[in-house]
Amino acid sequence: MQTTKGRLSSSHTTKECEIVEGYIMKDHVHMLTSIPPKHSVSRVVGFLMRKDL
SS (H, E, C) 8-48: HHHHHHHCCCEEEEEEECCCCEEEEEECCCCCCHHHHHHHH
Residue 24 pairs in a beta bridge with 29
Per-residue model confidence (pLDDT) at position 1: 41
**DSSP 8-state code for residue 53:** -
Q: What residue ranges define each of the domains in the chain, with the CATH number in brackets?
A: 4-49 (3.30.70.1290)
Per-residue model confidence (pLDDT) at position 53: 47
**Model pLDDT for residues 1-53, shown as the tens digit of each residue:** 456 566 666 665 556 888 888 888 888 888 888 888 888 888 888 877 775 54
Enter the pTM of the model.
0.58
Per-residue model confidence (pLDDT) at position 5: 61
